[in-house]
Structures are given as structure tokens and as C-alpha cells.
Amino acid sequence: MNQAVMLLYYATTAFFAAMMAWNFARAKDAQKALLYLVVLMPFVMRLLRLK
Amino acid sequence: MLNHALLVLGVMVVVFAVASRLKVSVELSMLLAAIAGGLAHGSGFSARHVVDGAFTYFDVTLIFLSATFFMNIVKESGGVDYIVGGIVKRFHANRFLCLLFLTFILLIPGALTGSGSVTVLVVGALAAKVLSEMGIPKEKVTAIIFLCAAMSAAAPPVNLWAMMAAAGSNMPYVGFIGPLGALSVLGALFSMFWLGWKGSPIDAAKVAASIKVDARMRGWRVGLPFAVLIALIALSRIFPHDFPILGLPLCFMLAAATAAAVSATKVPLLRIARDTVDSLLPLVGMMIVVGILVQAMSLSGVRGLISLSVVTLPLAVIIGALFVILPLSEGLVQYASAPLLGVPLILLFNMKGIDPVVALSAMAVMWPLGDILPPTLVVGRAAVMVTGYDGSYYKGFVKATLVPALFILALSTLVVIFSGQLTFLKALG
Amino acid sequence: MKKSEQGKTLIAAKAAGLVAWAAVMVFAGVAFRQHRAWKEPVVLGPGVTAVRSLHEWFAPLKGTENDCNVYVLDSGLPGSTILVLGGTHPEEPATNLAAELLVENAKPTSGKLLVAIHTNRSASTVTRPGEAYPQFYSIKTAWGQKKYRMGDRSANPLDSWPDPETYVHYPSGQMLAYMDIRNINRTWPGRPNGLLCERTSYGFMQMIRKEKVDLVIDYHEAELEYPVIGTIVAHQKAQEVAAMVSMDLSASQFRIGMEVSPRTLHGLTHREIGDFSDATALLFESPEPFLDRVRGATNEALLLTGVDEFVQRAGKAGLLYWPIDEKGWPIEVRVGRHIATTSKVFEVWNLLYPEKPIAVDGLPGYGDLAAKGVGAYFADPASVAKDRVAFE
């Protein structure tokens, strides 16, 4: 069960990371785009199981 | 060491000021300040520190995102309209009950997410509409929205300032529900009634016409997602060793799935998710950047310098100045003020025999009031945006918040002073 | 600026941002990977008779990050069995170093020693975000630098995720902070189907019961702003041992306090091991200025020397529970306190329980350790047969 819950957390992280990546691509404002990249750092690092 | 930390702090302040001046956003200015400070520190600063710092409040950002996603689905499915419409329909003749229910509606989103901005974005516009119909001037309506949003951020179960300061001082986030609940509810009610009691009777028909409630909407469709959320949290507390450990983000995601499933209309999940992420970017960005800043400050000794400067002040001066220091620091560095000032203060209070849980709760109610102050103005700006207030920010809106804000600050200061006598509040968990 | 130009600028900004982002991610990712994968060699000393794994006492731990090594130092003669836990909190390096020093040097002549160097191994594979800990530290030896992972207080979220909304301790029902479910000194006595640290403590409890452990010693370090410091915390069953050790050491070598484990504070070794097994438990705390919130720059030097101007200032302002001067609290002194306290516990134990003796040769004295340094007691892994080297 714990494993299943952990998998759901990776899925949730991936879901929000995907939305951020989408918004980054569509961002019309450079500062906003850069902030998306900053926010994406921990999400991607966790998905890659590096941190 | 002292000179070195002062130098790094100086670099951080100058870079932040220059970047802000050049119209760089607060979040990116803070990031630049953190990186410049790290580089000024010299040896040891690396990409690893940037990413490590970005993880400091990662769990909290997941709570933020999932909770707001849930609230936005409820809003999109017509749930919020249904609740506000219901309040007006049922209680329009009774100003007291109407204000009372509006207060609680305004408290819920922030209490669940820890963010005043979420309150403003999710229910601010609707509450403002009803309040305006009650004959309350625009600057007072905006003040009510801001103050209730600030109190909602302070309200339990999720108070980010208390959570961050408690985590930093190795103190369990337990015992906060009572003191946070009492102060935030009192603060919100005082603000609502002080500013909203005088006005004109509500024209129910006019308000009802302006709120479009879907004919297929029913009470259970709004109630079930909240019931699922409450049940999941309650079950994990009542049967902690038989019920799987879900954590708050998954509880919110399951409640969000329920809200989408029982909605009368088809809910565009992807669009809501993208909008959620978009509207939360300044807040989530702030949390991530604050983590990086804290990492750079810890690395260089700036955090120690700030902590040491605070805890070596006389205790009476510290307590007497909390009502100024906390909101100002919130306006300046947002949530970063909790680990920077909150942690050393809590350790000091504990040593001096002041109850750390009650005192931190009181401090965590004072912090969000700073969200109206420059340079960040986060929640204040959002409140002005959703109410459409176009008068003077300081002379109209901020001035209108003064009496309730001072009441909340005075009450919280008293709670810090008499924390020893108020420990019974911790019994709620 | 024309619209097309604006578009080009935006694309350029995004591209530049992406390149910088990728560079940061690659550098950081490599650093995280290297840290998590780093293996610390341990030379098996003359007393080590076997190296076992924790899963041998609780099979579900097999393959998890917390399936740590358990070093067996069996004299082959009757006596007490004593378990020593290092690395309960891997951000307290004197604890795993002291445990490793036992493994490399101790030679029991009666009774048996069991030693875990990284009790919460998962926590040794991550550093705490926001604290800017160095990822590694090195101990100087006669044959070169010996490199160690610096860790956190709590298990790595890669091994235990998510945390609960509130952590409810089993079986007391006491509510604790959510992240404490990854802090193994809050999860005793553990439960078989809990999260990683709950299962790890459960595994240790199984070992304690099956191996008929008489005494558990849990090494710790604490910030000087924290009231429980420079002391032995004892389960009430070990109260007499702790009191005698504290009096003797304070009179002869260094000041060390003694306090009885609070009965209402749950999840800790000194409470739960004593309550849920026949063993009793002691916890040692040495001072680690590196953990203080008022500390100055965070680096390896502070970790190993314990010299910090800001912490000293806090001391002068009366804000600390333990003294500090310009000499700081060097690692050899902190490890020395643990080793000397352990030796004294054995001595007192033999006085009180002569029918179940524990006698251990090969341990350095406090003065020797402080003078020569910890590294003087670590052998070169390259100089011994491969089967005499284990990895942490």
C-alpha cells in the first residue's frame, strides 16, 4: 500500500510538472517563464529520483 | 565571521534592491540576491546548493497546488456560487448571519491551503459582490476581503508560518489548532463586523440574479468532495495504524477527483490545472525561491547573524516590537521571515519559559497581516484586483484595515505575553 | 519594439533560461547521485566475527536502503550482549565515527557486541534542504583522507514518501510532527507494516529480542541551544548504571550529566526499547555547534572543529545550555566522549551485573583519542584482505 501511495505522489508531481512545462512553453512574459523553470527544479529532480 | 556575514548580507540587500528597481519580479530579485550572496560567500556555493534550497518547502508547495486545484474544481463546478447564493437566499434578511457565514466562507480556502491569495482568488470576488450589495463602501469591502484572507491563511489546519518555524526548531506541528483557530476566527469576525455591520439592507433578488447557480447543482454535489476530504484526514487521525498514510496532497487530489466526478457539468480538468499552476506561480515561486535564499543564508552565516541579532535583544523589547517586526518582515521577504525570525525567537521563548506553541501561533497570526505591505503587497494587491477597488491603496484601502489590524496585533501580542495561561488551547491537537 | 522582435526576444530568453536550467540540473543531479552512491569502507577489526544484515531479523527490510550492516563482535564466551547504534541521526557525525571506531578496534574478551554504524542509512544519503550542509566530510588518517557522507536527521524522501498529515506514533498514539515519521528516533518500537523508519525500528526490536540484547547504547549529538546535551539519557532500568557513569566520568575525565527518560515522550530508543523488550537503553549526547541555528558559515571545518564565533557570542549572552570557547568542540573530543562513556558503562555494568560481564579490549582512552585524532584508529582498507573490508 505504501508503495502504491508513493507512486501516486510521483504521478501527482508529474502532473503538476507537466502543467508547469506547458505554461512555460506558452508564457508570454520572460520573467514568468524563468520563474517556471526555477519552480520546476525540485519537481523534475524528484521525478528523476535524484533528490 | 561577523564582517563576512555582514558583507554577504549587504550584497544580498543591494542586489535585491537593484533588481527590484529594474522591474525584476520580487521572486526573481530574491533568487538573484540568493545567488549573488552565495557567490559573494565564495567557496562551497554551487548548483547543488541552489537545487537543495529549492527543496526546502517542496512538500508545502505540493499541498498548495493540490489544495488550490481542489478549490478551483469546486469553484468551476459551480459549488462556490451555490454556497454564496444559498447564504444570500436564506439569510439576506439577517445581516448578522449573513456576515457570519461570509466570514466562514472566506476562512475555508486559506485554512486548507495556508495561503491568503488562494482565498482571495477562489472566493474573494463573490464575497465582495455580496458585501457591496450590503451597502458597504468599496474600500471597506476590499479591507474585509484582505483581512479575512489574512486570517484564513493564519487559520488551522495549515498555517505555513507556524509549520515552517516549527520544522526549523525541531518542534512538532501539534497543539496549534486551538490557539491558531481562536485568534484567526476572532480576528476575522472582528474585521467583518467592524467594517461590515453598517450598511444598507440586501436586495436578495438582485444578488440572486447576478449569481448564476446551475439548476442541476445540489447540496450533495458541493458537500461530498468536502466530506471526502474531511473523512480522509479524520480517518488517518482516528485509525492512524490501520489506514494508509496518504498525506495532505493526496487527500486534496482525491477530494478534487470526487469534486470533478460529482460535478453537474463537465469540468475541464486540464485547463483548471494549468490555471491553478498559473495563478499559484507567484506563491509557489516565492516558496521555492525563499528556500534557495535560506540555503544561501545558512551557507554564508547570514542566517546565524540575523538569528543572533534577534535573540540577543532584551526579551521585553522583542515581544513589544513583534507587532511591527513580523508584518514588516512579511512584506519584505514573505514566508522567509518564518525560518529567519521565527525559529530563533521560538528557541529563545522556550528558554525563557514562554510557551513556544501558543507564542508561535500568535506570531503566525501577525505575519499574514504584512501581506498588505510593500514591497511584495501580495494579498493586498490580489484583494484590490478582485474587488475592482480603484481608490488610493494606502489612504483608502490600507487605512480601512487599520483598526481591525491593530486589534488582531494587540490581541496576538497579549497572547504571547500570557502564553503560559493559555496552554489549554493546545488540547485540540 | 515590434511584435515579431518581442517574440524573438522572448524565445531567446526562454532558450537561454533552459540552457542555464539544464546546466544547474546536471551539476546538481550529479552531486546528489555521487552523494547517495558513496560507499564508506570499514576495515573489520580483530573483534569482528561476522557482518550480518538487518533483514536477517526482519525479512521485509531486504533490498531497502535501511537494510544496514550489523557488525557482530563475539568473544565466544558467555556474558552480556550489547547493541551500539551509530548514525541514528546522520547529521551527527561523531555517532557513526564512534560506532566505526568500535568495529575497527574493539575486541570483546567476554560477552558480545553488536554494532550498527548507520542505523538510519537512508538518512545518510541526503542532506537537509535549507541547511546548506556539506555533502561530505573527511577524516585525516596516517594513510590519507577518509571520506564520509554527511547526512540528515530524517530518512531520504526517495525512500519514504509521503509523510502523513500528522504522525501518530505506534503504539502510544502520541502526535508528532509529520516529518518525524522519517526520524528513526521517533519511531521505536516500530511496526511491521509502517513506513520505512517504523519498519527499521521494528527490525531492530526483533533483533534485540532474538539476540537477547541486554543493553542498547544510542549515540547522539546536539546543538548547544538544546537543553538535552552533554548527558546520558537512561531508561529507568538503566538509571543506576547511568548515574554511576555520570558521577565517575564527571569526577575523573569530563563533565557529563544524567537524566531519566521521560515516560510520556514516545518513539525514542531510551523509552521504547526499555518498555518493549528485556533490554534496557542509554542515549549519549555530545555537543555539536554545527547544528546550532545561530551558527556562522556552514562548512566542513565547523562540522569537524566545532569552532564558531556566533555560537560563542550566544554563549556569552547566556543563551546556551552547554559551554563553548574558542577551542570549540572538535570531532575527536566528541567521539572521545562517546567512546570513554561506552568504556565506563562496560566497567559499571560489570560491577552491577558480574554474572553477565562484558569486557572489551582495544578501545582508546579519552585523552589518547583527543590527542591523536579519530583517524589514528582507522586502518587503511587497501592494506587488508578484501574480505576484511565492509562498505557502508
Segment 10-39 of chain C within 8 Å of chain B by CB: 23-25, 27-29, 31-32
Note the pLDDT tens digit of each residue in A10-49: 999 999 999 999 999 999 999 999 999 999 999 999 999 9
Same domain, residue pair C31 and C87: no
Q: Are strands C81-85 and C112-116 parallel, antiparallel or unpaired?
A: parallel
Q: Range of C387's domain?
A: 41-391
Question: How close, in Å, is residue B84 to chain C by CA atoms?
Answer: 30
Helix, coil or strand: residue C70: strand
The string of pLDDT tens digits covering residues B339-360 is: 778 988 998 898 889 999 999 9
A1 vs C48, more confident:
C48
Query: Do C167 and C186 contact (CB within 8 A), yes or no?
Result: yes
What backbone torsions phi and psi does residue C114 show, to the nearest 5 degrees? -115, 135
Q: Does the CB of C194 have a partner CB in chain B at under 8 Å?
A: yes
DSSP state of C41: E
Average confidence (pLDDT) per 10 residues, chain B, 429 residues: 94 96 93 97 92 92 88 88 82 90 92 84 85 92 98 92 81 88 98 94 80 80 90 88 93 95 94 94 88 93 91 92 93 78 88 94 97 84 88 95 98 96 88
Partner-chain contact A33 C157, CB within 8 Å: no
Inspect the interface and report whether the beta carbons of C170 and B305 lie closer than 8 Å.
Answer: no
Q: Is the Cβ of B287 closer than 8 Å to some Cβ of chain C?
A: no
From the DSSP assignment, how many helices (H) and strands (E) are in chain A?
2, 0
Asked if residue C147 and residue C10 are part of one domain, the reply reads no
The H or E element spanning position C361 is strand C359-361
pLDDT at B54: 97
> B253 contacts in A (CB within 8 Å)?
8, 12
What is d(CA B233, CA A25) in angstroms, rounded to the nearest whole number?
Answer: 36
Q: C162 vs A9: CB contact, 8 Å cut-off?
A: yes
Interhelix angle for B219-238 vs B247-262, to 10°?
A: 160
Contact B110, B116 (CB under 8 A): yes
Question: CA–CA distance from C54 to each of C159, C208, C303 (Å)?
Answer: 16, 11, 29
| pLDDT for B67 | 85
More confident residue, B94 or C36: C36
> How much is the mean pLDDT over chain C?
96
Closest CA to B341 of B305, B316, B380: B305
Distance of alpha carbon C221 from alpha carbon C94, whole angstroms: 7
Per-residue confidence band for C1, with pLDDT thresholds at 50, 70 and 90: low
Hey, is C37 helix, strand or coil?
Answer: helix
Q: Are residues C147 and C9 in the same domain?
A: no
Same structural domain, C77 and C1: no
For residue C49, the SS3 value is coil
Pairwise CB contact (< 8 Å): C21 & A24 = no
Task: Render pLDDT for C289-330 as a digit per residue (tens, 0 to 9).
Answer: 999 989 999 999 999 999 999 999 999 999 899 999 999 999
Is the ipTM value over 0.90, yes or no? yes
Instruction: Kindly state whether residues C189 and C248 are assigned to the same domain.
Output: yes
Q: Percent of chain B having pLDDT more than 90?
A: 59
Do residues B108 and B159 make contact, with C-beta atoms less than 8 angstroms apart? no
Query: Which grid cell is B160?
Result: 505555513
**Touching partners of C (3+ C-beta pairs < 8 Å):** A, B
Distance CA B300, CA B306 (A): 12
Residues C202 and C304 in one domain: yes
Residue-wise pLDDT tens digits, C237-292? 999 999 999 999 999 999 999 999 988 889 999 999 999 999 999 999 999 999 99
Instruction: Judge if C18 and C49 occupy the same domain.
Output: no
Residue B399 confidence (pLDDT): 97
Residue of B278, B290, B292 best to disrupt the A interface, most CBs of A under 10 A? B278
Chain B positions touching A38 (Cβ under 8 A) are 27-28, 31, 54, 285, 288-289, 292
Instruction: Taking residues C375-390, report their average pLDDT.
Output: 97
Residues C107-113, mean pLDDT to the nearest whole number? 98
Q: Chain-wide mean pLDDT for chain A? A: 97
Measure the CA–CA gap between B366 and B358, rounded to whole angstroms. 13
Task: Say how many C-beta atoms besides its own lie within 10 A of residue C39's C-beta.
Answer: 10
In this prediction, residue C180 has a pLDDT band, given cuts at 50, 70 and 90, of confident
* Residues C122 and C204 placed together within one structural domain of the fold: yes
Taking the C-alpha atoms of residue B231 and residue B293, their distance in angstroms, rounded to an integer, is 37
Gap between the Cα atoms of B97 and B100, Å rounded = 5
**Candidate from A5, A23, A51 with C-beta closest to B245:** A5
Asked if residue C160 and residue C199 are part of one domain, the reply reads: yes
β-bridge pairing C215-222 and C81-85: parallel
- Here the CATH number for the domain that contains residue C324 is 3.40.630
Which pLDDT does position B413 carry in this prediction?
Answer: 97
Q: Residue C129 and residue B52: Cβ atoms within 8 Å?
A: yes
**Torsion angle of C-alpha atoms B197, B203, B204, B205, degrees rounded to 10:** -170
Q: Tell me, what amino acid is at C17?
A: G
Please give the DSSP secondary-structure letter assigned to residue C375. Answer: G
DSSP result, B196-255: HSSS----HHHHHHHS---TT--HHHHHHHHHHHHHHHHHHHHSTTTS---HHHHHHHHH
pLDDT at C48 over 70: yes
Q: State the Cα angle at B165 between C265 and B282, rounded to 5°.
A: 140
Q: How many Å apart are CA B62 and CA A8, to the nearest integer?
A: 13
What total of structural domains would you count in chain C?
2
Tell me which chain A residues have a C-beta less than 8 angstroms from the C-beta of C126.
Answer: 51
**Buried b / exposed e across B40-72, counting CB within 10 Å, b at 16+?**
bbeebbbbbbbbbbbbbbbbbbbbbbbbbbbbb
Same domain, C46 and C31: no
pTM passes above 0.95: no
| SS3 (DSSP) at B163 | helix
Same domain? C152 vs C229 = yes
- What is the rounded CA–CA span in Å between residue C265 and residue B8? 41
Secondary structure (3-state) at C140: strand
CB–CB contacts below 8 A, B to C: 162
C100 and C5, same structural domain?
no
A2 and B247 within 8 Å at the Cβ level: the answer is no
* B300 CB within 8 Å of a chain C CB: yes
